[in-house]
Amino acid sequence: MDLLAGAFTEDGFLDIGPEERLQTRGASAIHEGMKRMKRFSRSSHHLSNIQIDFEGTDRANSVSYIWAWHELPDGHTGTMTGQYHDELVRTASGWRISKRQLRMSGNDAGFTVPVHRAERNQL
């Protein structure tokens, strides 16, 4: 989580939806907003199929697919799929995200499926 703020420019913009409460501006604010992920007991995010289109030497656009799995403290789980649409800029310290739009593709299971812990088999 501490590394997340460094992925965005200081004037970065995170757009999760059309409402103002779903939009965040600035690397520090994005970092603070992502701390809400700590409400989960466990969480796993997987990015794949990243496509990057360069527009010259200092600007690019990318699309990636995300699969996110979360477990709440009571054991219920939920997964979501979506796409990140990013605008990237090259800064003195490397490539950074200047704008990110998250487009949710759906939810294959609500937070209604309990996960039962099992002992690991010892070999």
Per-residue pLDDT of the chain (123 residues; tens, 9 = 90+): 667 667 888 888 888 777 787 788 888 888 777 776 677 777 777 788 789 999 999 999 999 988 887 787 888 787 778 888 999 999 998 999 999 888 876 554 454 445 556 566 666
> Considering its fold, how many domains does the chain have in total?
1
Is 121 part of a structural domain of the chain? no
Q: Is 93 helix (H, G, I), strand (E, B) or coil?
A: coil
**pTM as predicted:** 0.64
Is 74 part of a structural domain of the chain? yes
- Check: CB of residue 89 under 8 Å from CB of residue 59: yes
Is 53 part of a structural domain of the chain? yes
Is 42 part of a structural domain of the chain? yes
Is 120 part of a structural domain of the chain? no
Range of the domain at 100: 4-111
Residue 19 to residue 110: CA distance in whole angstroms: 23
The pair of three-digit structure tokens given for residue 39, joined into one six-digit string: 């409400």
pLDDT in tens, 87-99: 999 999 899 999 9
Is 117 part of a structural domain of the chain? no
Is 123 part of a structural domain of the chain? no
- Check: CB of residue 81 under 8 Å from CB of residue 106: yes
Is 70 part of a structural domain of the chain? yes
Q: What is the CATH number of the domain that holds 9?
A: 3.10.450.50
